[in-house]
Amino acid sequence: MAQQRALPQSKETLLQSYNKRLKDDVKSIMDNFTEIIKTAKIEDETQVSRATQGEQDNYEMHVRAANIVRAGESLMKLVSDLKQFLILNDFPSVNEAIEERSQQLRALQEECDRKLIALRDEVSTDLYELEEEYYSSSSSLCEANGLPLCEAYWRLDLDTDSADGLSVPLPASPEPSAGPLQAAAPAHSHAGGPGPAEHA
């Protein structure tokens, strides 16, 4: 009753009309069914012949059966109207469903936040260990060479490039360099040729 009092006047009137339709249809079904049962009762002889009375009772049964069918269809229409009314105007149930869905999404968000925080902690720990390893190796390299960090790495790269250059075989000396050596040999023999003549 408190919920009905809280409804607007239009909704209250609509609910009252639904209630009246329900009572009228149920009363119509009961009354017509009762009259059909009464019609099936065999009465004593009257001024109306039995054939005429039978036709009248048959017609009355058909009419009352049609009334029962009409009342049943009205009740089915009333059920459809009530469902539509609840879907469109049952705000407490809608709000409850929305709140329940919001709680589920909130719990999912909290779980995702916890997983992200755990992942962040793991990444931070691994990054810290990698930084410790990097700086420890860098400091040992500086202490070994007695140089600043950047210069020590520059020397290390230079030594690496030099070692790579020495590993490459040198190209063979070109053959034209043998030309001057062969040209010098005849000059020496020519110079020695007149030697004995001068000595003689």
> Domain residue spans in the chain?
9-157
Model pLDDT, residue 186: 47
Give me the pLDDT at residue 162, please: 60
Q: Quote the pLDDT of residue 185.
A: 44
- What is the pLDDT at residue 196? 44
- pLDDT at 31 (0 to 100): 94
Tell me what pLDDT residue 103 has.
94
142, 154 contact by CB (below 8 A): no
Is pTM beyond 0.75? Reply is no
| Structure confidence at residue 147 (pLDDT) | 53
pLDDT tens for the chain, 200 residues: list them. 334 444 556 778 888 899 999 999 999 999 999 998 888 777 766 677 777 888 888 898 999 999 999 999 999 999 999 888 887 777 777 788 889 999 999 999 999 999 999 999 999 999 998 888 888 876 665 555 555 555 655 665 666 656 555 454 544 444 444 444 444 444 444 444 444 444 43
What pLDDT score was predicted for residue 180? 46
Distance CA 186, CA 192 (A): 10
pLDDT at 13: 86
Place of tokens 């409850």: 96
